[in-house]
Each structure stands twice: as structure tokens, then as C-alpha cells.
Structure 1
Amino acid sequence: MDTDKYKVDFVKLSKYFFTFSIIITLIGVIMLSVKGLNYGVDFREGSSIDVTVNKAFEKDAVEQFIVDQGYKKDHTISVSNNRVTIRLGDVLTHDQELTFKKGFQEKFDPKASFEINTVDVEIARELQTNALLAVAIASIGIIIYVSIRFEWRFAIAAIIALLHTSFIVISVFSIFRLEVNLTFILAILTIIGYSINDTVVIFDRIRENLRFAKLKNTDDLMTLVNHSISQTMTRSINTVFTVFIAAFCLLIFGSESIRMFSLAMTIGLVCGAYTSIFIASPLWLVLKNRTGKKPSKTAATKTS
């Protein structure tokens, strides 16, 4: 087999990648068990208030206004140049909405405009269920697609890599208490799409190289995997980097409403590239060696 362009033994290094991934996963499990996720108003009862203003305000002043209004449940506030976003743990009635608007306009900006969305307990639970169902259906669809196009070992490796990518993003949001809302779920599904695309490209190259390779032993199979990853490395990095730049610009210059989406995308793209290149293919090799029929080195010597 030809010498690899990048001269990196990905398979030999895979034990370090696997160890790192296991450690990250364990940390994520611990953090999720202790802290859980910081659900936004989309997934718990409460009200979301987006206020468009004509001048900037100090966050502390808005915080004091919320306290003066008598809202004692957990709430979050974010203030930008012309926008104030408030997430209340209280479900506002129509009269409370009118009182809030009047009080805000009197204290801060008479020309302020409001967009108020309220979610009750039943809707929040339904949204949580539908979000989990969407991720589950996407995962099942990927398993079926990869199994038909390649083989079941490729499908198992791909889905483990995707779950690993998603779990890292979820763990980061849990550790830093970042808000999880519907845009976060959209980001996870988008990340799954980009990650499986990179993974399938590498798997397709492995399958193509398998078609013409003369494998005599396990070392030849390891060389083939290394060679396949090297052949697709530039393409994978360029694709992810291009989308990463777009997501990062949205994170820096985008509005507050898509901030968590952009952050999840930025983290997920990096994690997705890592798992596609360093986890998925070596994991397939492990499954292939354990379940596939391989010629032994002794048999190969006799044949030659």
C-alpha cells in the first residue's frame, strides 16, 4: 500500500483518543448527574420576554426592576445595545403582562416594544419529549442508512461517534450552566448531520480501498484505515473549518436569540471533526477485528 501523505498512525494513536473520550464522557455523566441541564423557558414553565429598546440599560437596573415587580423564581437577563431579553420562571397572566409592559415603559423607555411567549408545564413536557424523539429518529435513520450503504459495523461505529459528539456538547452546556432551548436541539440535529457527512466520507474511502486491497493480516487492515483517513483529512478539515467560521461569526455578531444555537454549533463542529477522524474509523477497525474473519499472519506466510 502507498505511503500515507501525513505519516500519522491514527490506529496506533487511537488508544489515546479512546481514553480521552472515555474520560470526557465520565466527566459529562457526573456533571449531568449533579447539575443536570439548565432548561430554558422552551422546556420548562415560564415566560420569555424580548424587549426592543431605543437605548442601552445596565443589567443591574433591569434586575432590580424584576425584583420590584415581585418575581421571585429563577430568572435570567441579558442586555444588549437595543434589546433586553428576560426569562422568567413565572407564567405571566394577561394582566401581569400588561402590568409588566407599563412598568418597564415608565421606568426605562416609553417607546419600548415587547414580545412575550409563555409556556405552561404540559407544553414544556411535550417539547422535551418531541426533542428526544427527534434525536432518536435521526439516530435510527442514520443506522439504517449506513447499514444499507455499508455494513452494520460501520453503522455502529458511526452512531457511537455521533452520540459521543452530541454528549460532549450537552456536557459543556451542563458544566457552564448554559441555557438549553429549542435552538439548542436544532443545533444538535445540525451537528449530527455534519458529523455523519464527514464520517461517511471516510467510511466510503475505506470501502473503496478495501475493494482493491490485498489484505493478508491485521497490519494490512490497520494500514488501510490509516491511509483512508489520510486521504480524506484535507477535505474533512476544510469542510468543517468553513462551516466553523460561519458559526463563529454568528456567535460573535448574531442576535441574542440565536446565541446558544451558534455556540452549540461552534463546539459541536470541532467535536464532530474529532470523532469523525479519530474515533469512528478506529472504532470500526476494532469491531472488524473482533467480529470479522481475518487471515492470520501464519496463514499469510504459508500462502506466500
Structure 2
Amino acid sequence: MSRLGNLGARLYRGEVGYDFIRNRKIWYGVSILITITAIVAVAVGGLNMGIEFKGGAVFTTDTKAKISTAQATDVATEASGHMAIVQELGNGGLRIQITEVDTAKANEIKETLSDELGIPAEEINADLVGPSWGEQIANKAWTGLGVFMILVVVYLAIAFEWRMAVAALVALIHDITITVGVYALVGFEVTPGTVIGLLTILGYSLYDTVVVFDSLKEGQKDITKQTRFTYSEIANRSINSTLVRSINTTVVALLPVAGLLFIGGGVLGAGMLNDISLSLFVGLAAGAYSSIFIATPLVADLKEREPQMKALKKRVLAKRAAAAARGESPEGDGPAYGNDETTENAETAGAVVGQRQQPRGHGRTPGKR
């Protein structure tokens, strides 16, 4: 078995692990800092909306121009009276985008480009987009996002419980905010491809979160009938048992997306590939992070406020304290469990990462084999 596979098996059995619940405040702080940065970036710098939302024209040609990209930018800007964005395509052609331009001037601009680029006018494709079309896309995107959020909350509240629904909703908002903030920071255009990418990562983020929730749901069965673990400890074990799976799934998903973003965009030129791949890349990474460090710890925080869970925690700590007084090792002592109070009050709690202490066995009865 590979080292990673062996680690995954040990994590699943609870032999090793990282105490996510105990360190949850650190990760909450990291998430809050990143989220605030994203919000400030959007508020200050704003988003670079594409012509689908602003309206304008896109001129493309498959023929190599006789002037440079910088010169083409100056020509297009002067001809239209608006700032133009010129990108060289993988086949040597050009993509000239002019936002908020009067579509009635499209033919005039096309003729000017034809003369300056040295390309026949019939070989220049012009796509005209009105701002009303982009507004319709934005409205439909917001509607789809709202419906998706409502369905997610209703489903998780029925299939699991309302606390998990709230935690999943917070994680989704977290992922969307970070992704939009990255777009504001790097200045990538927001296009329909971006919207498609955002809606796609919502499904992935939810899938990764539900995997952990399902493990937690199984682990908390008859939880109040035992005195070995608190709810937070069981939640922490659920995260660790699915940790390698989450990492593997995320890496496998990120590799092709990274290829689209860093290789495909560079070879084929910027466009729909970059628009959708950036949102997917950032969203997939943020979704994996939130499912591990945000969603489940938040469920544990909400759940530990219940009277039953508070009573369970007192019984568990009392049992461990009594075992410590007798010099015995309490059951359930080991890594991947615990929260602040449990670790502070239970002196016999095991290391966060290390071999789990096994229960003491009885020696073989003399004379028996």
C-alpha cells in the first residue's frame, strides 16, 4: 500500500489525525480575513464586466495582422472612441473587444480596422452585443443562484438537520465571495463563462461538504448513550476519516482545470477558457477548504450548544477525570479528538497527531492456550 493510502487508512481508523475542531478559531480567522479582503477588492476596484454585460462589439480575425498588438489597440481605441482590449489568438489572429461602443458605428470601425491591419473586411468577424442581453443574463444568474441556495437549505435540513444546512450555506457564500474577490483582484473579465463556472463550483463545494456530513451523521448515532466521545470529537473524527478522499478528489479536479487556465489560455488565447477556468480553479480550492475547515467545525459549534450535548460533554469529562484520578487510561483517549475544554480538563488526552493508545488487554490465563 502506498504511503498516502496507508495514511488514509490510519486517518479513517482514528489512529492519527489533526484536531480541526480545537483549532477552528484559527481557520475561522483566516477565512474572515480572506473574505474581508475579497469584499474590499470588489468594493474598491470593482469587477471588470465583459461586453455581454456592458454591451459593445468584438472583432476577430484568423489572419495575422501587419501591425503589432499595441498598435492595433491604439487603432481600435481611436476608431471607436472607447478603450479597446486586443488579444493575440493562438492562430496568430486578433481579438479586439470594445465595450460600450455604439453598435451603429460597427461597420465604420470594421473598415478602419481592415485598412490599418491589412486584412480584408470580409475576413473580420464582428459580434455586436447590446447591454440589455447582459442584464438578462445577470438576472437569470441571480435567480438561479437564489433557487439553488433555497433548495440546498431545504434538502440538507430534511436529509440531515438544520444546523448542517446553515453551515453548508455559510460555506457556499464563503466560496462565492472568495472567487468573486479574486476576479476583482486580478482584473479578469466577468463573462457568461464566469457565471457558468460559479454555478459549477457550488455543486462541487456542496458535494465535498455532504461527504463529511454523511460521515458525521453515521458517527453521531446513539451519541447520548455513550460516554467515550463528545460531539466535537466525533465531528473531528469525521473530518479526518474523509480527509484523504477530499484531498485526492480536489487535486484530481484541479489538474485539468489548471491545464485549461495556465496552458489552454496561453496556447489558444484568452477567452471563454480563461473565464470559466479561473472561477473553477479558485472555487474548487475554496470549496475543499470550506468543507474541511468551515462547514463541519461550524456544525460542531452549533450542536455543542444543545442541552443534550452539553450534558454529554460533562459526562465524558467527568469519566475522564475519574479515570485520571485512578491512574487509568480513559476509553476513547487518542488523537483526532477534542476541543479546547476537553483538552484542558482531561489531562490524559492523547496527542493530536500520533499513535492511538490501545486499551489494556488481559494476560493469557495460565495453563490455557
Under a length normalisation based on structure 1, what TM-score does the superposition of the two structures give? 0.89
Change (3 A) 1:277 1:57: farther
Question: Cα gap change, 1:31/1:219 in structure 2, threshold over 3 Å: closer, same or farther?
Answer: farther
- How far the C-alpha of 1:219 sits from its partner, in A, is 5.7
Runs of 4+ in 1 over 6 A off after TM superposition: none
For residue 280 of structure 1, report the CA deviation from its aligned partner.
0.6
Query: Given residue 29 of structure 2, which amino acid in structure 1 is its aligned partner?
Result: T
Code of the residue aligned with 2:75 in structure 1: it is F
Counterparts of 1:106 and 1:73, CA distance in 2: 19
Aligned to 1:288: 303
Q: CA RMSD in A?
A: 2.5
CA distance in 2, matches of 1:297, 1:213: 11
2:114 maps to 1:105: yes
5 Å-filtered alignment, 1:1-304, equals: 4-54=14-64, 58-69=68-79, 71-82=80-91, 83-93=93-103, 96-110=105-119, 113-211=123-221, 213=223, 220-251=230-261, 252-254=263-265, 255=268, 256-257=270-271, 258-291=273-306, 293-294=308-309, 295-299=311-315, 301=318
SS where residue 172 of structure 1 aligns?
helix
- Distance in 2 (alpha carbons) for counterparts of 1:168 and 1:182: 18
Q: Deviations over 1:214-251 (max 9, x none)?
A: 56579621211111111111111111111101101111
Q: Residue 172 of structure 1: CA displacement?
A: 0.9
Residue pair 2:51, 2:100 contacting (<8 A) in 1 also: no
List alignment gaps of at least 5 residues for structure 1.
none
CA gap 1:145/1:117 in 2 versus in 1, 3 angstroms? farther
- Does the CA-based 8 Å contact 1:4-1:226 persist in structure 2? no
TM-score (ref. length: structure 2)? 0.74
| Displacement of 1:54 | 3.9
Rate the CA distance shift 1:61–1:232 in 2: closer, same or farther, 3 A.
same
Contact 1:250 1:259 in 2 (8 A): yes
Return the offset for 1:102.
3.0
Structure 1 pair 195/44, CA: closer, same or farther in 2 (3 Å)?
same
After superposition, the Cα gap between the structure-2 partners of 1:283 and 1:65, relative to the gap in structure 1 and judged at 3 Å, is same
Q: Is the 8 A contact 1:56 1:80 kept in 2?
A: no
- Matched-pair identity in %: 28
Is the contact between residue 216 and residue 297 of structure 1 (CA under 8 Å) also seen in structure 2? no
Distance, in Å, in 2 between the alignment partners of 1:235 and 1:118 is 46
Partners of 1:100 and 1:296 lie apart in 2 by: 74
- Greater helix fraction, Structure 1 or Structure 2: 1
Change (3 A) 1:249 1:221: same
Letter in 2 for 1:280: A
Where structure 2 has 5 or more consecutive residues not aligned to the other structure, the ranges are 1-11, 323-369
Residue identity matched to 2:240? S
8 Å CA contact 1:169, 1:264 repeated in 2:
yes
1:296 deviates by 4.7
Q: Once the 2 structures are TM-superposed, how far is the Cα of residue 121 of structure 1 from its aligned partner?
A: 3.2
Q: Which has the larger radius of gyration?
A: 2
Distance 1:46 1:54 in 2: 23
Matched to 2:74, the amino acid is Q
> By how many angstroms is 1:67 displaced?
2.8
Q: C-alpha deviations, 1:257-304, integer Å up to 9, x for none? A: 2212111111111111100111110011111122463225445549x9
- How big is the shift at 1:194? 0.7
Contact 1:14 1:278 in 2 (8 A): yes
Name the CA shift for 1:292/1:74 in 2 (closer, same or farther; >3 Å).
farther
Q: Which amino acid in 1 is paired with 2:264? A: F
